[in-house]
Amino acid sequence: MTAELDHLVYAVPDLLAGVAAFAERTGVTPVAGGRHPGGTANYLVGLGPTAYLELIGPDPEAAGPRPRAFGLEALTEPRLARWAVRPGDIDATVRQARERGYDPGDVQPLSRRTPAGTLLEWRLTRWNDVASINLVPFLIDWGTTAHPAASGLPQLGLASFAAVHPDPEALHRDLAALDAVLEVAKGPEPALEAVLDTPQGAVTLR
């Protein structure tokens, strides 16, 4: 079974400015998702009924140093940084991936509250990896929490999603360990690329 796309992570150095710029480019304004422990916050836009795009950045209301997650500590411009897949059984998928030679990290709980105060809880695989880009998806399991894409988000279309990597064969091996599928072209630097169908026409995020 192929793991299903859950969401794309678009990291921005300034969250409110990033949301405004995204709305200007696409004609669709993301809605506030909530605040995370660790100093990040997000805004969301739907990519259909079962997937979404997350704009994540430093929490504008949080004091202290910039968060390290998704490379935000040193980020100077927006970047498509991560993606997540939703397996049928996250624990079994982690075991399977390790048997196949790829360690996706341990499954850990995480949560956030929506602006309305609703607590959302999920589990995901986490590494102590603060690299700005990772082409291998992390795994996520929403458990009994309603999926964010089902909450009436403003919608955009996902026309394509692909990657560039210096060694596509090696990346495909890691993806296969997770039963994840992604088109990968050979290129000098690792990168993710999504093309969105928007009211303003096609918009490419890298």
Predicted local confidence at residue 38, as pLDDT: 85
Predicted local confidence at residue 163, as pLDDT: 98
Hey, CA dihedral for 39, 180, 48, 152, is it positive or negative?
A: negative
125 forms beta bridges with: 107
Instruction: For residues 73-86, give the mean pLDDT.
Output: 95
b/e burial code for range 156-167 (CB count within 10 A of at least 16 → b): bebeebebbbee
| Domains in the chain with CATH codes | 4-155 (3.10.180.10)
> What digits encode the pLDDT tens for the residues 101-147?
999 999 999 998 899 998 999 999 986 665 568 999 999 999 999 99
Predicted local confidence at residue 130, as pLDDT: 59
The answer for 64, left when phi > 0, alpha when psi is -120 to 50, beta otherwise, is left
The number of angstroms, rounded, from the C-alpha of 170 to the middle of its chain's C-alpha atoms is: 21
